Amino acid sequence: MLFLRKLLGRDLVEVAFEFILDVVFGPREVFHDMECSVCGHYEIYYINPITKKQIGRACSGCGFFQKFE
Ligand SMILES: [Zn+2]
């Protein structure tokens, strides 16, 4: 990821991260965001657009994501 960031620049890394989230989470809506405790970027919580249940959280700043089971 660090190599990609250097090679492609910040914006394309965010696009790649969104693609990963599409694969991991599928359809999603932003529920809320908060400051990431690791990198200070926005950590975003997602919900399923149909069930409205929380499905996971992710931070594109540090590349962290977690799926709630
Ligand atoms: Zn972060």
Alpha helices, H only, 1-69: 2-8, 10-25
Ligand 1 geometric centre to CA of 55 (Å):
18
Beta bridge partner(s), residue 56: 46, 67
Mean pLDDT of 54-69: 94
Cα 5 to middle of ligand 1, angstroms: 15
Q: Which residues surround ligand 1, an ion (CB under 5 A)?
A: 36, 38-39, 41, 59, 61-62
- CA neighbours closer than 13 Å in the CB half-sphere of residue 30: 9
Rounded to whole angstroms, the Cα distance separating 34 from 17 reads: 18
**Residue 11 has what pLDDT?**
76
pLDDT recorded at residue 26 = 95
pLDDT tens digits, 13-60: 788 899 999 999 999 999 999 999 999 999 999 999 999 999 999 999
